[in-house]
Amino acid sequence: MTPTVLVVGELQAGHLAGATREAIGVARGIPGATVVGFVAGSDARAVAPEFGKLGVARVLATAGPSFDSGYPAAAARAASAAATACGAGLVLVGGTTFGRDLAGRLAIAWNAAAATGVTELVVGEGGFRVTRPIFGGRATEVRRLEGGRAVVALRPHAYPAPTESPVAAAVENLPPVELGPLGSVQRTSVESAAAGSGPSLTDAAIVVSGGRGLRGPENFHLIEELATALGAAVGASRAVTDAGWRSTSFQVGQTGKTVSPQLYFAIGISGAIQHLVGMVSSRVIVAINSDASAPIFKVADYGIVGDLFQIVPALTAEVRRVRGLA
């Protein structure tokens, strides 16, 4: 079974998002698969050649301002038409908030099986086999998606971005899609939430999070200084955001943001299940806490029991020295 794989492009700042790049890498890794890109929006034609830089030779584009608002229902209608047009058997999307929403809607519109949060994908004669973490990362399940069609949203950072393998991408314009009432939904404004000066929390390869063990907002600079030295994003536990030390845009956890970085620092965080759900799939977890019995140590790859007010400044100084930032 060597299906045509359609990769749905998500745009960030006018370019293909990192999650889309990861999806392209997964698609290209499927033996014998034909990979087709898809992008929708006013700038669809301008962005489409970016697929070519990553080795995708055919790109379908649906132009129109109705898709610029990031409304998944409209995008799903267009992606369904694209999947049908290229004869796809599998559609891959990045596991962002937009991608997960799109996956469910597209599966309904395209009459396909669906899975989100996927960390491993195998294509075989019997269909598609996917592996994904469940119950906040406390278990892993394997599912088989049958029926010949599947929509899969990949877990962010579970796969490396593909190496560039430039080809000349042939861009094909698809006919306009009838959106009906969906086309009348337009974004009127966007207000950016408060965030750190580093990379985006959900996209960062390294995240440094602080918890109640910092004792007060005046000490949160320890987290920010380490994050700056590492080129990392800053996160926080719910206890920190509930106390008003940082805005909810920093919160990692079940009611905050889910992150899957290569390296996650949990500093002064006890490890309540609400927090673990949002970060347990990180590749490497480092915990710093004065309580040796804190639950965070059960999921940490490396644990340091001690006074964070001594450990974190020393760690920051060493990172700066190694990186030539001192």
| Full DSSP string of 170-225 | EEEEPPPP--GGGGG-------PPP--SSS-TTT-SEEEEE-GGG-SGGGTHHHHH
Say what the pLDDT of residue 142 is. 94
**Nearest-angstrom CA–CA distance, 29 and 26:** 5
Mean pLDDT of 94-101: 89
State the CB neighbour count (10 A cutoff) for residue 86.
18
Say what the pLDDT of residue 43 is. 86
Given a cut of 60, whether residue 195 has pLDDT beyond it is no
Residue 186: CB partners within 8 Å, gap ≥ 6?
65, 66, 69
- Render pLDDT for 112-151 as a digit per residue (tens, 0 to 9): 999 999 999 999 877 899 999 887 667 889 999 988 899 9
Given a cut of 80, whether residue 187 has pLDDT beyond it is no
- Render pLDDT for 199-221 as a digit per residue (tens, 0 to 9): 788 888 899 999 999 999 999 99
- Render pLDDT for 41-92 as a digit per residue (tens, 0 to 9): 888 889 999 999 999 999 999 988 777 776 788 889 999 999 999 999 999 9
Say what the pLDDT of residue 12 is. 83
pTM higher than 0.85: no
Say what the pLDDT of residue 39 is. 94
Given a cut of 90, whether residue 177 has pLDDT beyond it is no
Tell me what the pLDDT averaged over the chain comes to: 89
**Separate counts of helices (H) and strands (E) for the chain:** 9, 17
The structural domains of the chain, ordered by start, are 4-184 (3.40.50.620), 206-322 (3.40.50.1220)
Say what the pLDDT of residue 184 is. 59
